[in-house]
Structure 1
Amino acid sequence: MIRTIYLIILLGLVGCASTSQSNKQLELFFSSEQVTLTAEQHRKIIQFFSTFSYNQITATVGPAKLNNKFEALLHSQKRMQNIEKLAQEHQIPLTLEYSPQITIDTLLLRSN
């Protein structure tokens, strides 16, 4: 009986710890030609910023799915500028990264 109670408590603690880690990241996807944020993306980013307003946040942007690699880089830079503008408006410390290795048309926000 005592073992069962300990097991339930342990599972509860592990569940709480894993839940808090998964909430420290936000993953958003863009369409290939999209450089601005949709209303839903804007809302999710603002909510993430308000949740982790006292943490350093890292924004990792992947390349756009375009045939021309230079155009793909420019699209990613415009996306990064939009994220940076939102962070400045809400006074959030933000580190921007461009990562051609992550999934195409993806934005990852992580709280450090």
Structure 2
Amino acid sequence: MLPNPKHKSFPEALRNARKAAGMTQAELSIAADISNVMAGRYERGMHSPEMSTWAKLNKALFAEVNESELEAIIQDDFTEIALGEASVEEIIEELKKRGFAKVTLASE
């Protein structure tokens, strides 16, 4: 099973699993029903998949994957924090995971 997409080892683990399965990025994209460019972006660490896409990647790469186990992991991953309770570091990390490289702050 692939590590959590938020983990720094995810891109390399995805690449290794794809190669072990004998698939190209295009074949993985088709099998996982994702955009044809996203497998490469995930492997290069340019983007991190949502947990639902993470589950699709696992299903495409690992025949023995347990769907109920995937669902349990997905449910455990959702943590809601009120914006007022989140630290600046948590907010920055979440923005990075969502693909933001830069944010412009307007002065009042």
Q: TM-score range by the shorter chain?
A: under 0.3
Q: Which structure is richer in relative contact order (CA contacts within 8 A, separation 6 or more)?
A: 1
Q: Which has the higher strand share?
A: 1
- More helix by proportion, 1 or 2? 2
Larger Rg: 1
TM-score, normalization by structure 2: 0.26
- TM-score normalised to structure 1 length: 0.26
